[in-house]
Amino acid sequence: MSDDIKRLKEEEKEIWVELDDVKGDTAVSRSTCISPCAGGQSWLGGLALISVGVLLFLSVTTDFSLNNWWALFILIPAFSNLGNAWQNYQADGRFSKNVRGPFIGGLFILLIAAIFLFDWDWGKVWPLFLIIGGIGALLGSKFD
DSSP secondary structure, 79-116, as one string: HHHHHHHHHHHHHHSS--HHHHHHHHHHHHHHHHHHHH
Q: With left for phi above 0 and alpha for psi between -120 and 50, is residue 65 left, alpha or beta?
A: beta
Do 53 and 20 lie in one domain? The reply is no
Other CB atoms within a 10 A radius of the CB of residue 59 amount to 14
Do 48 and 12 lie in one domain? The reply is no
- Between CA 39 and CA 32 the distance in angstroms is 12
**pLDDT interval class at 4 (50, 70, 90):** low
For residue 102, what pLDDT is reported?
A: 93
Q: CA geometry: angle at 98 spanning 48 and 16, to 5°?
A: 100
- Burial of residue 112 (number of CB atoms within 10 Å: 0-12, 13-18, 19+): middle
Do 16 and 78 lie in one domain? The reply is no
Over 60: is that where the pLDDT of 137 sits? Answer: yes
Domain boundaries, position 62: 40-143
For residue 54, what pLDDT is reported?
A: 86
Q: How far is CA 3 from the centre of its chain?
A: 28
pLDDT digits (tens, 9 = 90+) for 62-99: 887 777 878 888 888 898 899 899 999 999 888 888 89
The mean of the pLDDT values for the chain is 78
Averaged pLDDT for residues 129-139: 91
For residue 128, what pLDDT is reported?
A: 95
Averaged pLDDT for residues 5-31: 57
Do 49 and 9 lie in one domain? The reply is no
Domains in the chain, number: 2
Which residue type occupies 39?
G
The residue with greater pLDDT, 69 or 35, is 69
Q: State the maximum Cα–Cα separation within the chain, in Å, rounded to a whole number.
A: 65
User: How many helices and strands, by DSSP H and E, does the chain display?
Assistant: 6, 0
User: pTM to 2 decimals?
Assistant: 0.60
Percent of the chain with pLDDT over 90: 25
Do 126 and 83 lie in one domain? The reply is yes
Do 53 and 124 lie in one domain? The reply is yes
For residue 103, what pLDDT is reported?
A: 93
